Chains A and B, each alone.
Chain A
Amino acid sequence: MMSVPAIETLALTKQYDNGRGCRDVSITVGKGEAFGFLGPNGAGKSTFVKMLVGLITPSSGSAALLGCKIGSLAAKSLIGYLPELYRYQEWMTGEEVVELHARLCRMERSVAAKRVRELLDEVGLGQRGRDRVKHYSKGMQQRLGLACALVNDPEIIFLDEPSSALDPIGRREVRNILEKLKERGKTIFLNSHLLEEVELLCDRMALLNNGVILRHGSVSEVLRKQTKWLFKVGGYTPFLRSWLNERTGLNIRLSARQELSSPPRHNFGDQLPSGPSPDESIVWLEAELDSEEQAGWLNALIVEQGMTLYEVSQEQERLEEWFVNTVSGLDHRGEQG
């Protein structure tokens, strides 16, 4: 029997008057999974999360958290949420804020008091729990927000930029907390611009732009799909590249990585600078390929054209590079250019 997904959305849409929001977002996140949600600023990530936690009413579509309709009290009792705009009652102490959240989750006062102390220790605020929130730094407020999000030991944790205000040590501490939660089988939905965080913690991810999901899948899948292959070719002529592009349908281009022994190439446009004879033209070509078979095919084509293939290598693209390349390759409507 299939278990109920932790998060399931079907064509979830929120349309604002200015045309922004999310359109037809359908994702499924399994129980115990860590899911990364990426996208440039204004892509609609926070809108999507706010719909899931019941702060925004969707325009259309549906969604459920462990089978409970989003926005229902049953769904809300399953979640913990750290908002992007983490602000808490400044006139309260840290302990009081977390206790308020515990009490709103219907915890008994005595149970809540114990839980509050444990959590504040866990997020590194144990010594400052009795200070008013107005005396907290941004990073401390974010830690407090994490304590509030975890107070009811939620099954699903939504974190919107959970370490944006933290220093590197704080980030590592938060990551450790999240890893422990993941080990305990909690589902984590992470909205983050810190792509390294997503790469280290998440099993799967999705890229949202202008309210539409462009790509999704497991982190390794997405990255493997985007493996960049480099070919060191001797005897290069500009004709080769256009011929290869036409023949393969791939986007083969001159790499920025050129060797000092090669003729100087300051600006690798469509044409190489004139001057050196073809024999002297040793260049690096690059392309994103799906598989080794595709690389082998490309090798054969290069050799078939009478070029010398000196070296073939592949570069595993970091998530950050992938994100930048993908997003910068989109036009303003979020379509691939």
Chain B
Amino acid sequence: MRIIWSITWKEMLRKKVLLLTLLMTAAFLAGFWFLARAFGEQGLAQGMGESGEVLIARFANGAIIVTIGLMFGSFVLAFLAIFTSFSAIAGEAETGILQAVLSRPLPRWKWYAGRWLGYVTLGTAYALLLFVSILLITRTHAAIPLDPAAWIKSFLLFSLAVPLLVSVSMLGSGLFSAIGNGVFMTILYGTSWLGGMIERIGSGFSRDAAVMESLNRLTGVISLVIPADGLQRKAIAELFSFDELSGMVPFDVSSSGVNNFSSVPSNSFVVYAIMYTAVFFAMGIRRFKSRDL
């Protein structure tokens, strides 16, 4: 299996997918640096020194900067996961590559799992780079909690979107044509992102309880269909441990906006997302094993 996931990495390197991703990420991080600097100075009057008030203001700014950074990061990460894997099966079956490879004494599940591991390790490595860069830039201009456990938990939640999306994308690749799956996955993730946005800013649409209930039901269903965006909201919440800090920071959790943390998914939701990934991975293997080439 190591041979297979290592050729996946090599493929991404040779096709310049990694190079282009890293170049675009560098451009994003440069822009993010200036954005973080601008937000980092927000609410800090000159001569305030290092009082507790300043620390809280810096902490609040840090939360906003990280939220923006990880929101963009999650978007890029999702598309990297989708676009590297959407043609994994269909594309190689259509071109005939799989016919030569799968006539070898190699169980099909090993090929599938090897490819899956390749995409997931690549996406996770990229997620780590992005996550660390965003935190370092934020720390330069504002404050973030110095809690390694929170960092690790947050990173794991942030990067869990990679195996989740790769599993769905590879199953889709075993069911649909390459281009069909690309369109399907883009719309599916777009729907998830839209559901997340509605959840964040929904309260700004209406104060009508009935409308809010319908919106909540809709976003709940979307989160169950594709739980990628919810994981990323959970990642930000874990980083800043909002439950424990409740009341200490000047966040209006009921306000609408991208930094609305009133709707942080529960731990059960994380368990659901992990099981969702496992089920889609198993279904993908099952489908691939019975697929005629």
Contact = CB atoms under 8 A, between A and B. Distances in A.
B105 to A, nearest CB: 4
Interface residues of A, number: 30
A89 B106 contact: no
A226 B10 CA distance: 56
B207 interface: no
A104 B96 contact: no
A104 B101 contact: yes
Contact of A103 (B3, B97, B100): B3
Nearest to B7: A100
Given A55-B293, A83-B99, A83-B100, A104 B106 contact: yes
Interface stretch (A27-35, A73-81, A197-205): A73-81
B15 A91 contact: yes
Contacts of B105: 73-74, 76-77, 104-106
Interface in B17-59: none
B102 interface: yes
Interface in B77-113: 95-97, 99-107
Nearest to B111: A104
A182 interface: no
Contact of B103 (A81, A89, A92): A81
Nearest to B102: A55
A336 B290 CA distance: 36
A138 interface: no
A264 B106 CA distance: 67
Contact of A79 (B3, B7, B96, B103): B103
Contacts of A57: 290, 292
A204 to B, nearest CB: 23
A249 B278 CA distance: 69
Given A87-B95, A88-B97, A145-B100, A104 B292 contact: no
Contacts of B100: 81-83, 86-88, 101, 145, 148-149
B292 A53 contact: no
A53 B7 CA distance: 24
A81 B100 CA distance: 7
Nearest to A51: B292
B17 to A, nearest CB: 10
Among B15, B95, B100, B102, chain A packs the most CB atoms within 10 A around the CB of B100
Nearest to B97: A87
B11 A91 contact: yes
Contacts of A86: 96, 100
B76 to A, nearest CB: 23
Nearest to B96: A85
A276 B102 CA distance: 69
Contacts of A69: none
A330 B101 CA distance: 37
A4 interface: no
Nearest to A72: B105
A8 B202 CA distance: 67
A217 interface: no
Interface in A56-74: 56-57, 73-74
Interface of B: 3, 7, 10-11, 14-15, 95-97, 99-107, 290, 292-293
Interface of A: 50, 53-57, 73-74, 76-77, 79, 81-83, 85-89, 91-92, 100-101, 103-106, 145, 148-149
